[in-house]
Chain A
Amino acid sequence: MSDRVLTLISNLGENLEVFAARLSTQITALGEVSAVDFTIRMETQGVYRAVLVYRPGGTTGGTLAVAGFQRGGDPTASTDAMNAFFTANPDYQGIFVRSVSPQDDRDLLERQLVVLYSDGPMAILPTGEPQVYAALASADIAAGATGNASIVDGNGNAVGTISVQNRGTNIWSLNTFAIAYYDLGSEAWFAYPGCC
């Protein structure tokens, strides 16, 4: 599946935080995507250009969004605001952080920060990267059949759901573990449960 690009340019003088919200709306309209890279810069004074390289599809468990923080009066005000944002939303997972603070001395104390994040952990890795997880079957999955499984991270927390094919010769029973692999060739998940 090929990568694609979303570009958005702000209106002249548009507030960074307003622009970030508008960018989030554009990203949501793309459907289920994962982030490959993200950049934002100030083209001319007051005009931002944001570029998201994304990959359609991927695992469920998170939707990409962008938040902007444009605060003055204190050099750490924007950083503090971003930390408060993530503390209030502990399920959100940051992916890329960018600074677009003014390059001149217009406001020595103002910082402009942008973060691309997922509102769930599974959008962190783009489809097409090596991925291996422990997975719990959401229902019995017959040999050769495809069904849903809950992905478990390295701390034992359920972090998302994938559609996965049971390529073993045994039934994959409800709530039992198997190792789920993302196959880079077919771009699909598979597992061999009950192999012991």
Chain B
Amino acid sequence: MSSTQVAQIDAERTTAGVTTQSWDNLLLNVQDFLNVGDRVVIDAWFEQRASTRQGLNSMILYILYRDVSDETDTNVPAYVVTGNTDGQDAPTWFAATTDALGADARGIILLSADTIPQSNDQNGKLYLWIYVDTSGPAAAAPGEAYLGTVGVAPLPPGGSGDVDLQASDGTVIGTKTVYNLDTANAAAAGELLYVWSDPITERLVTLARCCP
């Protein structure tokens, strides 16, 4: 069974033998952590100490997550970490970022921090945003539901396969990996199914013998 864990990620990073501390490093370290691929984000929080002795070393992100490394065939969302740079106007950055991403992003976590007292921009804000790349296999928000048509291969009992998700007018809006929770019955190729995103595991699931 998956377990809740917490990660403590700081702003220190070593590149080519040189260790530095910066806001950009923090963003990279968080992205590296989530790229492992068996971590489902639950929540996150900043810790920041206004210490003249510690500087950016005092900036830590705690990520609460579910470790699903012991689960097989679990769709973990593709997380992307981004943020503004020190001194860059945060609202302008955020508007430009969301405009560029459009429907390809589903926000998970947005946190702000003050630029450190030593920064030239005393009133600046730093933003860290974690979103799900919705072009990935677990695109739907938890609890969202769709009609879908099984692809060329049937969905085996207790197994996964490709399903074409549909908009209300029947237009195919994407092909996703869907897990059949019914361990006794398969869904035939071309069969119309009710598909939803499980709120706990974020996995796209269906029941082969429960038509829309």
Contacts and interface: CB of A to CB of B under 8 A. Distances in A.
A121 B1 CA distance: 11
A179 B201 contact: no
A7 interface: no
A33 to B, nearest CB: 18
A152 B183 CA distance: 12
Interface string B49-65: 11101100000101110
Interface stretch (A23-31, A50-58, A153-161): A153-161
B107 interface: no
Given A98-B45, A134-B181, A154-B179, A113 B62 contact: yes
Interface string B33-53: 000000000111111111101
Contacts of B60: 99
A154 B205 contact: yes
Contact of B198 (A90, A104, A129, A154): A154
A130 B62 contact: no
Given A115-B64, A155-B201, A195 B145 contact: no
Contacts, number: 133
A104 B1 CA distance: 39
Given A94-B42, A134-B205, A121 B49 contact: no
A180 B143 CA distance: 11
Nearest to B75: A154
Interface stretch (B3-11, B20-28, B84-92, B96-104): B3-11
B210 A99 contact: no
B194 interface: yes
Counting chain B residues whose Cβ lies within 8 A of the other chain, the interface size class is 35 or more
Contact of B45 (A99, A130, A155): A99
A105 to B, nearest CB: 5
A90 B3 contact: yes
Most buried by B among A91, A97, A125, A195: A97
Interface stretch (A9-17, A81-89, A139-147): A81-89
A171 interface: no
B6 A156 contact: no
A1 interface: no
Interface in A113-144: 113, 115, 117, 121, 124-125, 129-134
A104 B49 CA distance: 6
Interface of A: 75-76, 79, 82-83, 86-87, 90-99, 101-105, 108, 111, 113, 115, 117, 121, 124-125, 129-134, 152-157, 159, 177-179, 195-196
16 contacts: A87-B3, A93-B4, A94-B4, A94-B42, A96-B64, A97-B62, A102-B49, A105-B49, A125-B199, A131-B143, A152-B181, A153-B198, A155-B201, A156-B158, A177-B181, A177-B207
Closest 3 CB pairs of A and B: A154-B198, A154-B203, A130-B143
